[in-house]
Amino acid sequence: MVTTIAVRESTAQLLSKVKKEMGASSIDEAIIQLLHEAEQMPKSRFGSQPKLKKFTERERARFHEL
């Protein structure tokens, strides 16, 4: 079964770049590889301050400004 998902243009471009770097045959394959890698990543790799609050949308947007 094939389905369509909506992503921002910048996300699609990043996925295409990752696909090429990984040598994947499709974006789907690249996503699957990324998900498998994330499953294998130990929790200790997610920072030394696990109790910190998540960034707000406003903070995230500020970090991504050019």
- Tokens read off for 32: 């699957």
Domain around 37: 9-64
Is the four-CA dihedral 55, 40, 12, 15 of positive or negative sign? positive
15 and 7 Cβ atoms separated by less than 8 Å: yes
33 and 24 Cβ atoms separated by less than 8 Å: yes
Would residue 1 count as lying in a domain? no
Q: How many domains does the chain have?
A: 1
Tens digits of residue pLDDT in 9-40: 999 999 999 999 999 999 999 999 999 888 87
pLDDT for 66 beyond 60: no
What's the mean per-residue pLDDT of the chain? 84
pLDDT for 51 beyond 80: no
pLDDT for 42 beyond 70: no
- Tokens read off for 50: 């696990």
- Confidence (pTM): 0.57
Contact residues for 23 (Cβ-Cβ < 8 A; gap 6+)? none
